[in-house]
Amino acid sequence: FPADRSASHFLLLKKLQDIICTGAATPRPVPTRGQPWEPKKKANAKPAHGKEHEIPADALVIYCDGCCEPNPGIGGWGFAVYREGAEIDARFGGAAIATNNTMELTGLLMALAWVAASAPAEPVVVFCDSQYAVKGLNEWVPGWKAKGWKRKGGNASEKNQAIANLDLWKAIDKARDDLQFVKVKWVKGHAGTVGNERADELAGLGREEVTPLDLIRQQLNSSAEREPL
């Protein structure tokens, strides 16, 4: 680093160092709280979700989500935690190279990690609008494990046996095994459920926070042209 720490390129390099050292997927608390998980009901309004979204009265509720634009491309994940209808915590993060599915799985994994770290006394329900994540954990993973973490057994080709995002699936499965009191359920996305909309917002914030590699190069080149290191 240059001796003059007020120089513009020092400030840029310090910022980039902080980004690199912190890591794009590090969870960060969100300073502003969202709304309660259920909006005020309008007269004659149709329910935004079905029985699969029923919430036990004494449960801690978490909504998680992931996004990627383009897909594959820059991704984000987020989750919001509710107790008795009030948001008590929210986290988000992102990755410069991702897919929509990897971010959905990361959002779920980070939500489970939060539960493990917080050790709540009440039962926990995690809602996710990704059928891929929810069906994968509740229906597909047991079969994959029985086949030695393969999609198909027997004489199937290696390509047909391979499971996409295997490391994430294994991490989620391990987290779930240690959290038997946690249920993971599907919720319809973009249907007016405040918790789901909040998780979607957080995932978007996570994506926006990621500095693309080409932008880093552009900033470094611009700084070098203005003031040689």
Q: What is the mean pLDDT of residues 58-79?
A: 95
Residue-number span of the structural domain to which 187 is assigned? 26-37+56-209
Q: What is the pLDDT of residue 133?
A: 98
Q: Are residues 69 and 152 in the same domain?
A: yes
Q: Are residues 179 and 78 in the same domain?
A: yes
Q: Name the catalytic one among 34, 53, 66, 87.
A: 66
214 tagged catalytic = no
Q: Is residue 189 part of a domain?
A: yes
Q: Are residues 201 and 216 in the same domain?
A: no
Q: Is residue 51 part of a domain?
A: no
Least confident of 16-20, 155-159, 179-183: 16-20
104 tagged catalytic = yes
- Structural domain total, the chain: 2
Q: Are residues 11 and 32 in the same domain?
A: no
Q: Are residues 216 and 115 in the same domain?
A: no
Decide if pLDDT at 23 tops 50: no
Q: Name the catalytic one among 34, 65, 107, 206.
A: 65
Reported as a single tens digit per residue, the pLDDT across 190-212 is: 998 999 999 999 999 999 988 66
Q: Which of 16-20, 53-57, 105-109 reaches the highest mean pLDDT? A: 105-109
Q: What is the pLDDT of residue 65?
A: 98
Q: Is residue 224 part of a domain?
A: yes
Q: What is the pLDDT of residue 54?
A: 72
- Percent of the chain predicted with pLDDT > 90: 59
Decide if pLDDT at 6 tops 70: no
Question: What is the chain written as a DSSP string?
Answer: --S-TTSHHHHHHHHHHHHHHH-TT--EE-SS----SSPPPPTTPPPSS-GGG---TT-EEEEEEEEEETTTEEEEEEEEEEETTEEEEEEEEEEEEE-HHHHHHHHHHHHHHHHHHH--SS-EEEEES-HHHHHIIIIIHHHHHHTTS-SS-TT--HHHH--TTHHHHHHHHHHHHT-TTEEEEE--TTSS-HHHHHHHHHHHHHHHH---HHHHHHHHHHHHHHS--
Q: What is the pLDDT of residue 105?
A: 97
Q: Is residue 50 part of a domain?
A: no
66 tagged catalytic = yes
Q: Are residues 13 and 30 in the same domain?
A: no
Q: Is residue 191 part of a domain?
A: yes
Reported as a single tens digit per residue, the pLDDT across 122-135 is: 999 999 999 999 99
Query: For residues 223 and 36, which has the higher predicted lDDT (pLDDT)?
Result: 223
Q: Is residue 119 part of a domain?
A: yes
Q: Are residues 143 and 180 in the same domain?
A: yes
Q: Is residue 165 part of a domain?
A: yes
Q: Name the catalytic one among 78, 104, 136, 197.
A: 104
Q: Are residues 96 and 164 in the same domain?
A: yes
65 tagged catalytic = yes
167 tagged catalytic = no
Q: What is the pLDDT of residue 144?
A: 95
Domain of 129, CATH number, reads 3.30.420.10
178 tagged catalytic = no
Q: What is the mean pLDDT of residues 10-26?
A: 43
Q: Are residues 92 and 193 in the same domain?
A: yes
Q: Is residue 14 part of a domain?
A: yes
Q: Are residues 216 and 167 in the same domain?
A: no
Reported as a single tens digit per residue, the pLDDT across 30-52 is: 545 454 444 344 444 333 344 55
Model-level pTM?
0.73
Q: Are residues 122 and 18 in the same domain?
A: no
Q: Name the catalytic one among 93, 94, 129, 195.
A: 129
Query: For residues 63 and 155, which has the higher predicted lDDT (pLDDT)?
Result: 63
Q: Are residues 30 and 7 in the same domain?
A: no
